[in-house]
Every structure is written in structure tokens, then in C-alpha cells.
Amino acid sequence: MLARTPTLSLIVPTRGRPRQLRRFLGSLAATTLRPSRVEVVLVVDADDRPVTCPGARVVVGPPGRTMGELNRAGAAAARGEWLMLLNDDVVARTRGWDEQVLAAAARFPDRVGLVHVNDALVRDHLCVFPVVSRRYCEEAGGICPADYHRYRIDDHIDDVFTRLGGRTVYLPDVVFEHRNAVVHPTAGKVYEADPAILAEDAPRFEAHHADRMELVRRLGGEPTSADAFALRVPGRQHVVRGSWAARTRTDIGEWMTRLRGRLRDRYRRDGAAGLMRVMGRKVGWVS
């Protein structure tokens, strides 16, 4: 999906997960309406197996880099005016997602804006897969600080735009399903961070507070001393729904995903016989 003059660049660090990467790229091919406006930038390690992906831009670098360094390498190679940070363990579920994302980005003619999608786990609470402009990257000195090992990159970007105020758009009907989840007995599917790595990245987030406040000032905002997490209140971002048809397709897709998960869990627990009993009761074969 290599565009001549892309508007949106998808930055995807990947290592050792070719099957997941193929699934992600296949979902993009099935849901992108205007591929000429989108480019995929894969960021890989030199010691990993070669990535074969027709149409994608592949950026190779030394192994052992942090997620911050990987994202910065992808952003440096990207050609789009808007850049989206993604993972390889994602499935694009919404057909026409690209048009909705770019329509939301067009709300910011000065290119100072944040757009984020529904990851089916964290949802509106945080910009897990943020879309920011090239101008933002230039003002910030890079799409994110290089020292973030894995976490808090999304918190970092979210904090800047929350403090700017009125510069964030959330698209609940554009689903990029994050498959990195564990099943909680009461909460269902949730994202679970590695506590050891999070313990390293959390102090880095606090250490970059002054940098974020200076960036807010350069982008035309007024820095505050308020706690970053206390600012995440309802109304801090614009929520833009898709069309009725798009929402219906998304709702059906999410229902099918949940159904597949329940049937898979029943099969693992009770085998084929148990699965057939459940399906039989659903369609009235058995009582």
C-alpha cells in the first residue's frame, strides 16, 4: 500500500510476529477505501527475519531499540502529513476508516490536532493509537521521546492535547481492535501492562512534564500544573460518530468477534460436544 503522495502514514514497529503482521495488513487491505492516500511504514530489526510486504515502506535498524526509538525511526521515514502510531497485533474492523480519520484531521487546518480511534479495550479513555500531524512532530522534536521503553507514549501525546483544549477528536465507530488483551473474570477483555517495564516508563513520563508544558506553549496553549490524569474528564474531546450504516457494520463486527471468542472458550473448556450443545440450544435443536 505504498502511495505516491500519501496523506496518512501508519507507523508499525514489528518483530518476530509475521502471522500477526499479515493479519493486520490484510485487514487494512479489506477496509481502506482510498489506499492511494495511505502508506504503511514497517519498522523492523536488522536481525529479524526479512519482511516481505509489497507496497509497504520497510525501515531496518539495529536491534534492542526502545519503542520510542522505533516510532521515531518510522516517523522520520514517513511521507504523510498525518502520522498514526500502531502495533502489529491490531485488526482494522471499520471499512472506510481512512476517510473518517482524515475527515477528522481536516478539522484542524493549522495541523494542531489529535485524532484517535476505538481500540476495543481502552476506548475513549486514552489515545492508544494516536494520529498527529507532521507539524506536531516538528514542534515536539520527534513524534515521541526516544527513552520510553514501551509505555506512556500515548499518555505523553494525550497530555499535550488535553492541556491545549478542544484539539482532540475521538472516533468511537472507527475500530482498530487491539488483540493484546487478557480476559478478566468480571471486566471481560482488558489490556494488561508489564509491571516491570511500566515501573521504568512511569518516571520517564513525569520527567518529561516540563518538555510537554513547553510544547503546549509553542502550540499556542497555556500550560497548567494540574495532574495529567486528573484532566481526563468527560468533555475534554470531541466525539464524532460515523454514519448509521458505518455504525451498524461496526456493531455487527464487534458482535461477531465476541461470539467467536465465546464459542472458542466453550470449545476449549467442553470440547466439540459442549460446543454443539450450546449451538443446539441457540437454534432450538436441543432443549
Per-residue pLDDT of the chain (287 residues; tens, 9 = 90+): 554 679 999 999 999 999 999 999 999 999 999 999 999 999 999 999 888 888 899 999 999 999 999 999 999 999 999 999 999 999 999 999 999 999 999 999 999 999 999 999 999 999 999 999 999 999 999 999 999 999 999 999 999 999 999 999 999 999 999 999 888 888 888 899 999 999 999 999 999 999 999 999 999 999 988 888 889 988 899 999 987 655 555 556 656 666 676 677 777 788 877 667 766 665 444 44
166, 238 contact by CB (below 8 A): yes
* 3-class secondary-structure state, position 284: coil
- Antiparallel, parallel or unpaired: β 38-45 and 90-92: unpaired
> Taking Cα atoms as reference points, which of 80, 77, 62, 75 lies closest to residue 15?
62
CA distance 261 to 130: 27
* Total-model pTM: 0.83
Q: What share of the chain is helix, strand, coil (3-state, %, to 5)?
A: 45, 20, 40
Query: Cβ neighbours of residue 172 under 8 Å, at least 6 residues apart?
Result: 118, 123, 124, 239, 241
Could you tell me how many residues make up the chain? Answer: 287
Please identify which residue in the block is written with the cell numbers 491545549.
Answer: 164
Q: Which of 91, 90, 101, 88 is nearest to 38 (CA)?
A: 101
Sequence-distant (6+) residues with CB within 8 A of 166 are 238
Please list, in sequence order, all residues whose beta carbon lies within 8 angstroms of the beta carbon of residue 185, skipping any fewer than 6 positions away.
none
